[in-house]
Each structure stands twice: as C-alpha cells, then as structure tokens.
Structure 1
Amino acid sequence: MADSSILSRRGFIAGSAALASAASLPMPIWATGSMARAGAGGASKGFGTLDGDDIRLTVANSHFAAGGRSGHAVTVNGTVPGPLIRLRQGRTVRLHVTNTLEEDTSVHWHGLLVPFQFDGVPGVSFPGIRAGETFTYEIPVRQAGTYWWHSHSGLQEQQGHYGPLIVDPADESGARYDREIVLLLSEFTPLHPHQVMRNLKVAEGYFNFNKQTATQGDMPVADRIDWGRMRMDPRDISDVTGSTYSFLVNGHAPMDDLQFLFTPGERIRLRIINGSAMTFFNFRIPGVPLTVIQADGQDVRDVTVDELQIGVAETYDLVIEPRAGAHTIVAEAMDRSGMGIATLTSTPGERALVPALRDPVTLTMDDMGMASMAGGAHAGMDHSAHGGSMDGAGMDGDAMDVAAMDHSMRDMSQLPPSANGVGVDMVAPMPVDRMDFPGLGLDKVSHRVLRYTDLVARAPNPVRAPERSLEIHLTGNMERYMWSFDGQKFSAVSDDPIRFGFDERVRVTLVNNTMMAHPIHLHGHFFELVNGADEAHQPLKHTLIVQPGGKATFDLTANEPGDWAFHCHLLYHMHAGMMQVVTVRPFPVAEGA
C-alpha cells in the first residue's frame, strides 16, 4: 500500500485581518486589517475569514497594487493575502480548491500535521491541481495554533498565493487575552518571479543597493580589499530587497495607513506570521514589551523581549498590554532596505512616529564561520584549516593572510565527497553553534532581543535518546546562484531521499557553510530544538533559522509516515535546488488489518 501511493517527483521543479476578540469593541473597516479595495478589477488588500468544516477556495489571476507598485498577482478568493482560514481542533475539515489558472497550482498547509497525500507538494505528495480542476483536501485537525498556507507550485507564492491559518483549541477556557490581531508579513513586487530568478542568476547582488563605496561606512579600506579578494560582499544580507519589494502588513504597504483599534487596559494577542517569499523581518513596537507565548504554533514559557527576528515561514504569538495612545508596529527587513508599517491605536486616526530605517547590516568574519579572538579577527579558527599549525605567535595581532583564509574557505574536505563540484564555491571553515545568536543586525542593539535559547516548551515532551545522528550541510555557489544540501542540487529526476524509519529518533545537525541565513522547514513534523533547555522542555518548531557560518541541531521523532518536503523556505533558494525529500517508512499497520 505504501509504495503504490508514492507519486512521481518529476514535476516538482517545473510545477514546483486582524480579528476582534470576545471584547466587542466596534471595529470600522479601516481598522480591521481586512478587505480594502485595490481598484476596479484588481485584488483586494487584506483578508476576510472562512471557517467551518467545509471551505471553498478559488485560485485566479488578478492585478494588485501596493506601495506605488502594481502588477500581476495570483489571488485566492480575490485577495492578497488570501482568506484567513479558521479551524477548530478535533474537527475534520474539507477544503475544496478550484484552480482557474492556466497552469497547475497547489496549497500546502504550513505547520499542520496532515496525512502526507494532503500536504500539497506537487511531485512529492500529490500530482498538483490541474487547470480547471478542483481538489479536495480532507484533514483531521489535530493541533491548535498559528499557521499559514501557500502554494508549492512554481513561484506562485511570490505572486500572492498565501494566507493565514488559525486553529482554535478544542477547549478555550484558558484564554489569556482580550483581543486578537493577526499580522501576516509579506512583500510584493511587480516583477514576474521568473524575471527575479533570472536577475539573481545574472548577478546574486542584483537587488542589493546597500553595497559600500570606497569611503562609506566604518570598515577600513584594507578590510574591504580583503573581502574583495575573497570575492564576497559583507553587505550581501538579502537576495531580494526593498529596491523591488514593497513590504506589506496584511497586504497593506506603509502608505496605506493600516490601523488596529484597541481599548486601554486590554491584553492583546498578536499572531505574527512571516508569509514572505524572501524576507526576514525584525519585529518591534517601540515602547511596548512583547511577551512570546508560542513559537510555530506551539506553547512556550513566557519570555518578554523588545524585538525579535522572524524568519521566512516562522510564526510567533505575542501578548502585549499597550498604554493608551498610538504605537507603531514595525516589521523592518533584515537588510534594512525597507519596512512594513501599521498603527496600533486607542483613538481612531491617531498615529505614532515611524522610526527611521537603521543603518545597513555588515557581515563580520564571525558570520563566515571564523570565531573571534582577542586582538584579532579570526583567532578561534581551526588551525588545520590553513594546512598547517598556527599558534598565537604566528599571527598578526590585527589580521591574517587573506590568501590563506580564502584558500580555507574553498577547502571542501569537511563536506561529503558528493559535495565537490560547481555547486559549491566556498565553505565556512569553522561553523559553530549559533543558537544564541539573535539574528543579523540585532546582536549589537541595547534592548532585549529574542534568541532561540530563550525558548522553553511549556508542557513536557516525552524524553527519549536519539538512536543515531545525521549531519546535513547547507551549501551554495553565490556567483552561479545555486543552492543545495551537501552540495547536491535537488533533482526531481534522480533524487535520493533522506530516509528515516517510522518512529525513529534522530539528532540532526544542520551545518551552514554559506554566508547567508537559511530558514529550513521540514514538512509533516515538529522537531525539538537542542538549544540548552532540559530534554523534556526542548521547544517544538517546524522551521529553523540556521545562521551564516553556524550550526543548529534538533531532535526528530519521525512518526509521520510518508514522503515530505525538506527545504530552505527562501523561495528562490528552494527553486534553485536547496530542497530534498524525507521519506518515513514503513507505514504502520492499522488495527484490525
């Protein structure tokens, strides 16, 4: 039965509202974060809500405008983002998706535990939804929390094919808030996504307008020359930037003046979803502490911060208690090329100051997998990376031989033999655990910033030692814009899946040998971050940011049988090859069979 249900993977690459709570404060349409018209014949900004056990979605072509930019969009039920789907834990839902496009489409229910044939990845778990057809997903709703949905066909996600998904618990007697606001962060560009991809293939820094000049910034000229010799750019933070993106909150650009109304004294739950294609956001509300209560839909012990970085495809639930007045909601792109903006206010029409963009982020040698040292930039580096011994006396106090460093970054010996070839152009020589790193650009701020090491599961997980270990390298060739696992670009024709036995417990270490942060997502499962929490309280997540030149480790119990996508959630990285299939076998035998 298991083998006969496995579908061909050949089509993967080619096909590959804020809500008012029980507090009944009247919410005018401009204050709800939903349904603002974008113009005659165009997609609406924001989203309405669909709930119940039988839901219908229609995928269509449309036109969308935001932030002074306009262009083609792929909409679901006529809006960008698509509708908020609201489900109830313990029920079974039927979701009917009708495709009116002239190409295949799909919907992946990001973070939901579903039977693998309803996971929505063409060529991996089902054939896709053909033009003119309707496909019905039938899903027993097993968990509560904040999730989202998006297309897994081609690059439709970039064009607007995504939306929020909330699962309410079967028992809501323990609610800890008075009002709820859903904030879906994303971006829009009028460029067709295939043109974006072509531009990145021409030059990986095509959209980067934050490059340093010979006299700009505080980096010494000698250091800039060193980076040049390595053929690397210390300002290469994001592949696609505000030069072409308008950053959105619930489909609204900053100039739209999106506002959310509240009553002073309320405890407000913010459900934050990063539904972007390529953008990490640094989220803050200046002057308002943020208490994190969930990560990726799973309960964590309360931790209060002033800012957090949310990677592509992650979700965080926060509780805030804002004072009377207006407060600016800031979702600043990690590379600081733009931001999404909204206002939280107790008085309709009142606004707060919008903070200026902070200075652009500049990579350091630590970000290249070279540990810091006192009096020099690279002392923690493995001496063997330079082909010989090196004690402290053998190093210049302020610098090292760049030619030797450049050579070490092209030493492929730490990768599997299959990783050699054109798909890898450099290797961070000394990756270290960076689970305590708050995110690029947030390591030098003076206020409290969330780190993965702050996350502790609220309820205990079963304690079980891993049966084996697995190491996976995140690799790439920046100049050719190729991305991969272990140097192997995903091929729908000749792939070799990552295999787990059903219910096997595996400790997986992701080693980022590149200079970019990657949000790695495993379909169909939650895994436990090995982040310093005790074994029973390692936090559960489905998406994990692996920092440049860093390692990140998780424990996985492979208890969801089937074929599952495993990939970088930066859309163009996945499309360029940083993807694999995880196969969990055998299928358990049903009782009475």
Structure 2
Amino acid sequence: MGRRGFLAGSGLVAGALAVPGWARGQSLTHARRGFGEVSGERIALTIGDHHFTTGARSGHAVAVNGSVPGPLVRLREGQDVTIDVINTLAEDSSIHWHGLLLPFQYDGVPGISFPGIKPGETFRYSFPVRQNGTYWWHSHSDLQEQQGLYGPLVIDAAEPDTRYERDYVVLLSEFTPRHPHEIARMLAVGEHYFNRQMTTVGDGSMSAEERLMWGEMRMNPRDISDVTGATYTYLVNGHGPADDLSFAFTPGERVRLRVINGSAMTFFNVRIPGTSMTVIAADGQEVEPVEVDEFQIGTAETYDVIVTPQAGTHALVAEAMDRSGMGVATLTSAAGAIATPPPLREPVTLTMADMGMHGGMGAMDHSGAAMDHSGMDHAAMGHAMPTQGAAPGNASEPMDHSMRDTALLPPQVEVGPGIDMVAPMPVDRMDFPGLGLDTVSHRVLRYTDLVARDANPHRMPERQLEIHLTGNMERYMWSFDGKRFNAVTDDPIRFGFDERVRVKLVNDTMMAHPIHLHGHFFELVNGAGMMNQPRKHTLVVQPGSTATFDLTANEPGDWAFHCHLLYHMHAGMMQTVTVRPFPAAEAAA
C-alpha cells in the first residue's frame, strides 16, 4: 500500500474553523508557565495562540492546553491511546511523537507521513503503546516548536520500578519574543548575528598564527551556537531563572530526573554541583548505570538520572554549550529555600580536532573495530567507502585549500555552493564528552560509557551506507550529501523491510549536529559488544568527526531523518527514509 492510501484514512476529523483572538482584534491570553498532566485512553490537546512572559522577555507563543510547554502526556506501556489534536491557529500545525514506535501515518510530519492539521480541524492519533521511558512531543510545522508547541511524554513501565521514590520531568528549552522566521532571516544574512563571544585581537585566546589560520578559512573558533542567550531565555519546565523553580525531596530519597532537551537550537551541559548523578537511560532506553558529575545533552536527546541529594538546597544547572546563559532550578529539602547557581564558565573555543584534523587521530574507529568485514558481500554494500586524504604537515599553514578539497568527498556528495568545508581527516569521536567538557576535571558522560542493559538480537549488517553532513556556514545552507531537502524529496534513503544496515555519518562541518531518525531506534557502534550496543533515536555527531550506528529497518513506511537543530532542518538538513515493502499482513489490510 502506498503513502497516498495511508494518508487518505489517517484520522482527520473535520471541525468548525476557529478564528484566533488576534485575528479578531482581541488581546491574547497569557500562557501558563509550566505544564499540567494528561493521561488515559482518550486525550485532547488544543493548539492556540497565546502570549508568554518570562523575566524581561515577553511575546507571542503557541501554547497547548494553555501552557508553555504543553502538558505532560503520561501513558502506560501496553495500553491503546487516542489523542485528538485540535488546531485553533490560523495556519497548519502538527504534533510529532518524538521517539515513539507507531504506524508511520501517525508520526506527525507534514509532507512525509500525513497532510498536517488545517486551521479549525482536529486530527485523531490512535496507536498502541509499545514501549516505556522518557520521550517528548513537538510540532513539525513552520518553526512552531520555537514558539512553544512542545511538551514532555512519559510512558510508565508495565512493571513498577523500585529504584527511586520521587520522579520529576526536567524539560529544557528556550524562549524568545522574536518570530522564528525573523531568526531564520537573520541567520541567512549573517551566521554570527547572535554571537556576542567572538574572538578579538586583544583577548589573548589565540596566537597571531592561529588567528591568521582561522582568517584564511573564513571561520570563527567561537562559532559554537547559532542562536544564543543574546535572544534566548533558557527555561526549565517553562520557567526562566528568575522564577525560582524548585523540586522538593526528603533527605535520603532517591530522585529520578527525566531530563529532556526540548530546545530548538541549544545543547545543554547539565550538572548539580556537589551531587553525582547515575545515568540509567538514554533516549528512553535502559543502560547499565553510569555515575557522572555532568553530561551534555544534545537537542532532542533525553537522559534519565537518579540522584540522592543531601539535605539542603542544590542548584540544578543547564548551561548552554556556548556559555551564553543557563536554565536553573533548585532541588531542595527545605520549603522555599533556593540555591545559588554557579557563574557561567569561560566561552568555548574550537580546535583542530573540530575541523577534522590532527586532534583525535589516536581515537579508536569503533565503526571498524566492532565489525568483521571478511564475511560481508561488498558488492551489496552500496558505494565503496572513500579513502580520506592526508592533512597538511604543518597545522599553522593556511588551510583554505585543505579544508575545501572536495576531491576528498565520495561520488554521491553533490558538490556546489552548499559546501564550504570538507573535513580532511574525520575520525570517530564517540569518546568525546562534548564541546567545552573535554578539559573539566570531573566525570563527564561519553557515548562510550553507554551499554544497553538488555541484550539486543545479534545480527551482522548486510549493507553499509555513508552519509555526509554538509553545509555552508556563511550562507546558512545545510544538507545531507550536499543535497538540501527540497531538492531530494523524490529520492529518499531506501531500506528494505527488516534490512540490517550499518550507517556511517561523516560531519564535514564545524558544528555538532544532533541527527534524529523517526520511527526507529538504532544501536550506537561505540565499542560496546554488538549485543549490548546502546539504542538511541538521536545521535550527536561532533564537528569534523564520524559516528556510526547499526539499524534494523523494521518499521515500514516513510520517516523523517534530519538534524534536530530547528534552523538547520529548516535550511535543508533533512531527508526522507522509506522502508519497503510493507509486510504482507499490513499490505493486505
């Protein structure tokens, strides 16, 4: 059955056209900061225009059930759920259930898996709940995610979990009164528009030689985040730092924190100074416990941690990766007591390793170490893996030629104005803790620390695929293999149903990209044994590096595959993954 047949019966319910208040000349209702909870077998979510204020920033927002973020959707493993989403906006909208395994026509991506929700209409999502864990939901329409259309989703396990006494959602995000299309326009005009931490001649952060090198490459070593605290207020559960959000606990209690990065553009470094955290799940999937003092969480990732704080107050800090601001909350055993957060740390500066050169050359290439190629049918592997060129012998020499040597790219990459950098020697950096965290003295989580708690079925890959993450930072063009999404809609990435594929992502850019595949979990090739490779739905690919995962394509349909930095996806770093054929039982339905 083709896409059209699924879309025709995919659950649109007609409704009377709702004219939003601002179109009738009325003032908008203020959205509530924070969220309530909805649960059960029938749930209703209403999308509407509101006003939102946090600290000194105030502006338009798109709220769900009157709050930003929208309500916590709490489900139970094994139940069936029907969710009616009512769109009262004057424009199309949608909700994508991030990380959920469900029929593709309910995945919520307009143009790929359903037609979207028109103004005044209701769309009925109906699916069985096949998993448990920490997830979230958000719009996939017209940059509405930036405006407040997102919320947490928790699926309780069928069996009670006795590892903790309290359970809190910690949803990290941002707010800006600027319209998202205005932000997109500003980034296209100048990618450094929101950067207030550029290096200067007198700041002493670089030698004259290094400054000349970066100038030759027309790049800036402080280009860490596209949109920063210059326009964002960083939120925890919809609350800015001035709101004094707190989470109560009783001394001796074990507290589960379900940390969700629901931001549009921000990587966060999460820590509770003086208190260790035990990571027990990544992207909703259980892992062997790992004790850390800090972790970096990319946009769209989730981590579950257990903490046992001592009596008193403890600052829960979510510092933006570029260190332009932070989200703050308090863990407290004393009602009304608020912790003092630490100051922002020094800005982060990129290195040679982030350009795919020199640094990290001794790192283990997990994509080859864990795989015996001798028994593989190389004729069925797609294209051959390219041999990367050598880096220049002197790191202080001008890099303009070497950083743009498109001869290093494999033939499937479309070379053109959309590519302004090619990493000459990208290596696997699964053991890298994240930009700015490689020099701290305490324990920081790395992908190589993650080991699946439950064994995965053992299957060797049948095919290998390489995908390059490409971009032109000056022109704000982002793509896969040099092809922006609007140019490749008729040429999806194709997988056979139940095919086992090893996918190698090569980041030719100097920015970290959180790459998300809808409808599936893949297994990180991170050095863990093949049966215990951790399962994730979102993978951060570090600048100038590679990252590899194994995928069993066992969810038929058409799925989005994209960078989860909202404006990178909007600018073209997105593709359709199609899994065919449908199993015989489904095709006959």
> What TM-score, normalized to structure 1?
0.89
Match of 1:143 among 131, 134, 137: 131
1:213 Cα offset (Å) = 1.2
Residue aligned with 1:309, SS: strand
CA distance in 1, matches of 2:487, 2:126: 26
What residue is the counterpart of 1:41 in the other structure? 29
Structure 1 residue 338 corresponds to structure 2 residue 332: no
CA distance in 1, matches of 2:279, 2:145: 27
What residue is the counterpart of 1:471 in the other structure? 466
Whether the 8 Å CA contact 2:388–2:425 is kept in 1: the answer is: no
Residue aligned with 1:419, SS: coil
Whether the 8 Å CA contact 1:416–1:486 is kept in 2: the answer is: no
1:6 Cα offset (Å) = 6.2
Match of 1:68 among 37, 41, 56: 56
Structure 1 residue 98 corresponds to structure 2 residue 86: yes
Match of 2:404 among 407, 410, 418: 410
Residue aligned with 1:55, SS: strand
Whether the 8 Å CA contact 1:295–1:315 is kept in 2: the answer is: yes
Q: Name stretches of at least 5 consecutive residues in structure 2 with no aligned partner.
A: 9-26, 362-386
CA distance in 2, matches of 1:553, 1:266: 38
CA distance in 2, matches of 1:259, 1:42: 22
Q: C-alpha deviations, 1:32-84, integer Å up to 9, x for none?
A: xxxxxxx9920000000000010000000010011310110000000000000
Structure 1 residue 401 corresponds to structure 2 residue 397: yes
- Residue identity opposite 2:159 in structure 1: D
CA distance in 2, matches of 1:494, 1:300: 36
CA distance in 1, matches of 2:396, 2:317: 40
CA distance in 2, matches of 1:46, 1:229: 47
Structure 1 residue 324 corresponds to structure 2 residue 311: yes
CA distance in 2, matches of 1:187, 1:452: 25
- Residue identity opposite 1:366 in structure 2: A
Residue aligned with 1:344, SS: strand
Whether the 8 Å CA contact 2:170–2:259 is kept in 1: the answer is: yes
What residue is the counterpart of 2:490 in the other structure? 495
What residue is the counterpart of 1:561 in the other structure? 556
Match of 1:453 among 448, 454, 464: 448
What residue is the counterpart of 1:81 in the other structure? 69
What residue is the counterpart of 1:434 in the other structure? 429
Whether the 8 Å CA contact 1:7–1:124 is kept in 2: the answer is: no
Change beyond 3 A, Cα 1:501–1:244? same
Matches within 5 A, 1:26-425: 41-172=29-160, 174-372=161-359, 384-385=389-390, 395=393, 399-402=395-398, 405-417=399-411, 418-425=413-420
Whether the 8 Å CA contact 2:489–2:575 is kept in 1: the answer is: no
CA distance in 1, matches of 2:388, 2:306: 47
Q: C-alpha deviations, 1:359-401, integer Å up to 9, x for none?
A: 0000001110002399xxxxxxx99446xxx7xxxx55xx442
CA distance in 2, matches of 1:400, 1:493: 39
Structure 1 residue 571 corresponds to structure 2 residue 566: yes
Q: C-alpha deviations, 1:473-493, integer Å up to 9, x for none?
A: 000001110000000001177
Change beyond 3 A, Cα 1:165–1:370? same
Whether the 8 Å CA contact 1:179–1:268 is kept in 2: the answer is: yes
CA distance in 1, matches of 2:154, 2:265: 23
- Residue identity opposite 1:401 in structure 2: E
Alignment RMSD: 1.7
CA distance in 2, matches of 1:94, 1:286: 42
Structure 1 residue 537 corresponds to structure 2 residue 532: yes
CA distance in 1, matches of 2:132, 2:523: 18
Q: Name stretches of at least 5 consecutive residues in structure 1 with no aligned partner.
A: 9-38, 375-381
CA distance in 2, matches of 1:373, 1:141: 42
Range that drifts further, 412-421 or 111-120: 412-421
- Residue identity opposite 1:185 in structure 2: L
Whether the 8 Å CA contact 1:6–1:563 is kept in 2: the answer is: no
Change beyond 3 A, Cα 1:360–1:255? same
CA distance in 2, matches of 1:177, 1:137: 32
What residue is the counterpart of 2:369 in the other structure? none
Whether the 8 Å CA contact 2:388–2:424 is kept in 1: the answer is: no
- Residue identity opposite 1:303 in structure 2: V
What residue is the counterpart of 1:550 in the other structure? 545
- Residue identity opposite 1:2 in structure 2: G
CA distance in 1, matches of 2:331, 2:487: 46
Range that drifts further, 104-113 or 60-69: 60-69
Whether the 8 Å CA contact 1:83–1:163 is kept in 2: the answer is: yes
Residue aligned with 2:502, SS: strand
- Residue identity opposite 1:411 in structure 2: D
- Residue identity opposite 1:139 in structure 2: F
Structure 1 residue 515 corresponds to structure 2 residue 507: no
1:551 Cα offset (Å) = 0.4
1:119 Cα offset (Å) = 0.1
What residue is the counterpart of 1:29 in the other structure? none
Change beyond 3 A, Cα 1:494–1:82? closer
Q: C-alpha deviations, 1:325-373, integer Å up to 9, x for none?
A: 0000000000000000001100012222210000000000111000239
Paired residues in the alignment total 544
- Residue identity opposite 2:78 in structure 1: G
Percent identity among equivalent residues?
69
Range that drifts further, 269-278 or 221-230: 221-230
- Residue identity opposite 1:148 in structure 2: W
- Residue identity opposite 2:61 in structure 1: A
Change beyond 3 A, Cα 1:372–1:170? closer
Change beyond 3 A, Cα 1:486–1:265? same
- Residue identity opposite 1:62 in structure 2: H
- Residue identity opposite 1:313 in structure 2: A
Q: C-alpha deviations, 1:504-546, integer Å up to 9, x for none?
A: 0000000000000000000000000000000110000000000
What residue is the counterpart of 1:2 in the other structure? 2
Residue aligned with 1:409, SS: helix
CA distance in 1, matches of 2:253, 2:110: 44
CA distance in 2, matches of 1:586, 1:40: 48
CA distance in 2, matches of 1:549, 1:409: 10
What residue is the counterpart of 1:16 in the other structure? none
CA distance in 2, matches of 1:353, 1:577: 41
Change beyond 3 A, Cα 1:384–1:297? closer
1:2 Cα offset (Å) = 3.1
- Residue identity opposite 2:242 in structure 1: M
